[in-house]
């Protein structure tokens, strides 16, 4: 008697339950290996970004009022740039890499060949639902893989547009987009993939890693954490305040690398707070709720979570206005925050910025080092020694000096976390390498056959071999 499949009983489409196996037939058939196929898919994806960009922007605005400029720059343009970069460098990336053959192993020829992994699963979050689904996909395509794509159900308008256009853009034999929530994601995670790429929070990251372990599937986890922003005594506060305010309140703070808290010298705290407040006013006006340039919290559940954090920690300097009906939370700065307060216990992922004082760079470094390794670390300083000290004595996924977010926009810099903030990296060539296997190849000629290595092993052979090693 056959045991009923509980997932099938939930009414899941058969194409979801067999997604990995179906795409593996195409991969095993060699569909994705030709470079011309890869170039075509990358070009098609880039064309989709251009031709369907306005539609995707409208969907992002419908999901959480993402401003048009933010939608274009942080979601649409980044994917297009990744496509351009991969198209430009694909031939070089895929070229066999020659390496030296040790003298003891000569004659011979050694090289590293990049093999596609096979069928990969990409699970994206809701905060940048276009970029964080399609940027990893660029690397998967460039490396020659098939892919199942799972957009976030928390941005349903964007998910629907992606699910409509991706099958009409990319080779349907090799790519499948799966909409839905927990049941659909669970069904996908029960299948055997050759790599899983997940962007989101650590709790779900643990679920993904546990599911992947059942099949010994490698994973890339792009998580988050509390990214600190150290403001040194020497910092240019006019510039620092504007850049911090922009990076923190972009997308209403719903950015995995947004500065999560500030550590500033006590002598500079008042001035910095005043200048950040002025920058927020310049950006969004006296009432940010009326600004077309300020996004909303993605849903009521997240809004209530942020409201709870705000009630329990520190003194509000500006902001703090809430409207659950429209999921509005004003850009908010909080001071007199205790290190063990709820605001400092978890990633905020919203427009609340705690300011803590720190008497020295050494104390700031110690404060950061005593906590989980963050995805990003920011330092504002005009002192080269301070810059070098912070970089050398802290651990984080990446560092940006005198700016916010910019280090993640370069395709030449790998982006990823460390420890609790993630594992693995992508962007540019790093994406291609993430979805590739570096296969070692050695070729030996047959015209010369060293019989010294063959049994029977005499004392003379042993003596000669030991001298050679």
Which amino acids are annotated catalytic? 222, 256
444 alpha-carbon distance from chain centroid = 41
- Residue 328 pairs with which residues in a beta bridge? 323
Residues forming a β-bridge with 262: 229, 355
Listed residue (77, 49, 72) closest to 60, CA to CA: 72
User: Which of 222, 219, 204, 291 lies closest to 252, judged by CA?
Assistant: 291
Alpha helices in 214-265 (DSSP H): 237-249
147 touches 175 (CB < 8 A):
yes
Q: Which two tokens stand for residue 457?
A: 């092993």
According to DSSP, residue 415 is labeled: B
Among 338, 408, 413, 336, smallest CA distance to 377 is for 408
Specify the pairing of strand 376-380 against strand 398-401: parallel
Q: Where does 178-260 show beta strands of DSSP type E?
A: 195-199, 219-222, 228-231
Query: Distance (Å, rounded) from C-alpha 406 to C-alpha 402?
Result: 10
Residue 76 DSSP code: I
Measuring CA to CA, which residue among 52, 197, 18, 48 is closest to residue 124? 197
Give the separation between CA 134 and CA 42, rounded to whole angstroms: 11
Three-state DSSP class for 229?
Answer: strand
Structure tokens at 186: 């669970």
Count of Cβ atoms closer than 10 Å to residue 372 Cβ: 15
The verdict on whether omega for the bond into residue 254 sits within 30 degrees of 0, i.e. cis, is no
């Amino acid at each position: 008697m056959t045991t009923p499949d509980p997932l099938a009983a939930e009414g899941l489409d058969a194409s979801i339950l067999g997604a990995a196996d179906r795409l593996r037939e195409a991969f095993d058939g060699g569909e994705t290996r030709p470079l011309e196929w890869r170039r075509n898919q990358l070009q098609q994806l880039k064309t989709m970004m251009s031709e369907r960009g306005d539609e995707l922007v409208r969907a992002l605005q419908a999901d959480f009022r993402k401003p048009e400029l933010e939608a274009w720059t942080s979601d649409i343009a980044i994917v297009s740039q990744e496509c351009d970069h991969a198209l430009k460098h694909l031939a070089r990336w895929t070229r066999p890499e020659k390496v030296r053959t040790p003298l003891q192993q000569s004659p011979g020829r050694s090289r590293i060949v990049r093999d596609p992994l096979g069928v990969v699963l990409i699970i994206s979050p809701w905060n940048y639902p276009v970029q964080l689904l399609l940027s990893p996909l660029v690397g998967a395509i460039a490396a020659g893989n098939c892919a199942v794509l799972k957009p976030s159900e928390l941005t349903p308008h964007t998910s629907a547009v992606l699910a409509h256009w991706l099958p009409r853009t990319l080779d349907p034999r090799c790519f499948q987009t799966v909409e839905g929530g927990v049941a659909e994601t669970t069904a996908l995670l029960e299948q055997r993939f050759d790599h899983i790429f997940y962007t989101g929070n650590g709790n779900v990251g643990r679920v993904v890693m546990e599911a992947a372990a059942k099949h010994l599937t490698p994973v890339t986890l792009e998580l988050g954490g509390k990214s600190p922003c150290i403001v040194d005594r020497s910092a240019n506060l006019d510039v620092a305040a504007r850049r911090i305010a922009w990076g923190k309140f972009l997308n209403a703070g719903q950015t995995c690398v947004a500065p999560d808290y500030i550590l500033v010298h006590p002598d500079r705290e008042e001035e910095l707070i005043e200048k950040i407040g002025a920058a927020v006013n310049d950006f969004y006006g006296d009432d940010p709720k009326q600004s077309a340039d300020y996004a909303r919290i993605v849903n009521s559940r997240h809004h209530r979570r942020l409201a709870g954090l705000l009630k329990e920690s520190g003194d509000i300097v500006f902001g703090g206005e809430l409207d659950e009906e429209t999921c509005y939370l004003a850009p908010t700065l909080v001071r007199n925050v205790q290190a063990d307060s709820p605001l400092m216990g978890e990633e905020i992922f919203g427009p609340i910025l705690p300011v803590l004082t720190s008497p020295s760079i050494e104390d700031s470094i110690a404060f950061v080092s005593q906590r989980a390794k963050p995805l990003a670390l920011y330092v504002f300083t005009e002192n080269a020694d301070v810059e070098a000290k912070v970089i050398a004595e802290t651990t984080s996924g990446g560092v940006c000096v005198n700016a916010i977010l910019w280090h993640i926009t370069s395709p030449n810099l790998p982006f990823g976390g460390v420890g609790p903030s993630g594992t693995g990296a992508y962007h540019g060539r790093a994406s291609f390498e993430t979805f590739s296997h570096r296969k070692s190849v050695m070729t030996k000629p047959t015209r010369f056959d060293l019989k010294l290595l063959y049994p029977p092993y005499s004392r003379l052979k042993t003596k000669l071999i030991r001298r050679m090693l």
